[in-house]
Every structure is written in structure tokens, then in C-alpha cells.
């Protein structure tokens, strides 16, 4: 998707350090962290939001990735958050799961 920040980060058009990457998703530190550790887990395919997910195996894959990321980042107590739709606070219209840990 041409005008999508997360697609641009994935395509290296916007530089960003990946804290995790596999075949289907990647993770970056949030640019405006709302906790000591604030990581975004993002599918490589452009899916606008949870409402547009067709194969829910993607979500299983992302939660499996979260377990790996948390192990890597020494996170054991954390919150996950998915904002879906502008009225619910979704600012970037490319699905992502927030990991928040203090
Ligand atoms: P949303 O409100 O859509 O659930 O969350 C979008 C998140 O993406 C926000 O927490 C915001 O700080 C983060 N964000 C927006 N633009 C960028 C960016 O260019 N780089 C990174 N690392 N995070 C971003
Ligand atoms: Zn995108």
C-alpha cells in the first residue's frame, strides 16, 4: 500500500530498527511510547484492521511472535492492545498489535 507508514517501514522507505522479523510479521519500537517498553507487531501483508482479517491464523501467528518477542525483550508482564477503526483510536490503518510493558 503506497501511502501506508508501516508498509513504508517494511519496504525500508522509512528507516526503523526491527526488533523482530519473520515470514509473516515484524516488530518495531513505537515512535511515541506510552510505556517503558512499547512495541508494535505488524503483519507484512497490508491488512487495514482486525475487521479485514480473512485468515485468523495470522492472529495466531502474531501472538506466537509476541511470545518470542517478549522472551527476547525480557517482558513477562504486559498489556496487548488492538485499536480497530478511527473512532476506537486507530491512527495507522494497517493492522498492528501493541505490546505495552513497564
Ligand atoms: P494506533 O493508534 O493506530 O493503534 O497506533 C499507531 C501507533 O503507531 C501509535 O502508537 C504511534 O505512536 C505509532 N507510530 C506512528 N507512526 C510511526 C512511525 O513512523 N514509526 C513508529 N515506530 N511508530 C509509529
Ligand atoms: Zn500498510
Ligand 1 atom with least separation from CA of 34:
10
User: Tell me: the pLDDT tens digits for 70-96?
Assistant: 999 999 999 999 999 999 999 999 999
CATH number at residue 24: 3.30.428.10
59 and 46 Cβ atoms separated by less than 8 Å: no
**Ligand 1 mean position, distance from CA 33 (Å):** 9
CA of 59 to the centre of ligand 2 (A): 16
pLDDT-based confidence at residue 2 (cuts at 50, 70, 90): confident
Distance between CA atoms of residues 1 and 17, nearest Å: 20
Helix (H) or strand (E) holding 5: helix 5-10
3-class secondary-structure state, position 38 = strand
Atom nearest to 93 CA in ligand 1: 3
* Cβ proximity of 97 and 82 under 8 Å: yes
Each residue of 21-69: pLDDT tens digit? 999 999 999 999 999 999 999 999 999 999 999 999 999 999 999 999 9
Q: Please confirm, yes or no, whether 96 is among the known catalytic residues.
A: yes
- Residue 47: the pLDDT is 97
Does residue 14 surpass a pLDDT of 90? yes
Over the chain, what is the mean pLDDT? 97
pLDDT at 77: 98
Number of domains comprising the chain: 1
For 65, the domain range is: 5-101
Distance CA 5, CA 1 (A): 9
Amino acid at each position: 500500500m503506497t501511502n501506508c507508514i508501516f508498509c513504508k517501514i517494511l519496504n525500508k522507505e522509512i528507516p526503523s530498527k526491527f526488533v523482530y522479523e519473520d515470514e509473516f510479521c515484524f516488530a518495531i519500537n513505537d515512535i511515541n511510547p506510552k510505556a517503558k517498553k512499547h512495541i508494535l507487531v505488524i503483519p507484512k501483508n497490508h491488512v487495514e484492521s482486525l475487521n479485514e482479517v480473512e485468515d485468523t491464523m495470522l492472529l495466531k501467528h502474531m501472538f506466537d511472535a509476541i511470545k518470542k518477542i517478549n522472551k527476547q525483550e525480557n517482558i513477562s508482564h504486559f498489556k496487548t492492545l488492538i485499536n480497530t477503526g478511527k473512532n476506537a483510536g486507530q491512527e495507522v490503518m494497517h493492522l498492528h498489535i501493541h505490546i505495552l510493558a513497564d
